[in-house]
Every structure is written in structure tokens, then in C-alpha cells.
Amino acid sequence: MIHAFLLMAYLGTGDARKLISGDMYFRSIDRCNYFASQLAKRYGNYVSSQFIDPKDRVTVYCIPKKVNPNAVEVY
């Protein structure tokens, strides 16, 4: 068993929030956070982010997990 970081990606907010990815493990928190930031990017004017439909909002973060590297792929 090793400690790894699981990238969790959700689409939507509130009751409509859905897990869209929860199976990417990284050895480094820096790598995990890099991919989290890339997935959560929005193009255009951030001042108008309030106009993004709540069902299209993305939340991505990394959590530590203990995993068997022989059972899951760790990047």
C-alpha cells in the first residue's frame, strides 16, 4: 500500500452535482493539483463567471488515499 492523491471532479452544484471522475491517482500532490487546475479552467472573462449555468460549473480537488499500486494505476 502507498499513499497517493485521488483527483475528484464534479460537474454542477447542489443536488444536481455529479461525480464525473474519481479514478485518477497521482503519486505527487503537485501533479494532481496541476491536472485539477487544468480541468477547472474556464476560458473568457472570469468577471462574468457568475453567468455560467450552475449545471456547467466544475469543482475539482485532490484527496489523499491509501491504495495498492498493483490494483490501480498511479500516475
Residue 44 or 3, more confident: 3
Q: Any idea where the domains of the chain sit in the sequence?
A: 2-42+49-67
Angle at 52 between CA 49 and CA 54, to 5 degrees: 120
Beta-strand relationship, 2-11 and 58-67: antiparallel
Instruction: Identify whether the C-beta of residue 5 lies closer than 8 Å to the C-beta of residue 62.
Output: yes
Work out the percent of the chain whose per-residue pLDDT is above 90.
Answer: 68
- Which residues make Cβ contacts (< 8 Å) with residue 54, sequence separation at least 6? 12, 13, 14, 16
Name the pTM for this structure.
Answer: 0.85
What tens digit of pLDDT does each residue of 48-70 get?
Answer: 667 778 888 889 999 999 999 99
Q: In the structure, what pLDDT confidence band is assigned to residue 19 with cuts at 50, 70 and 90?
A: very high
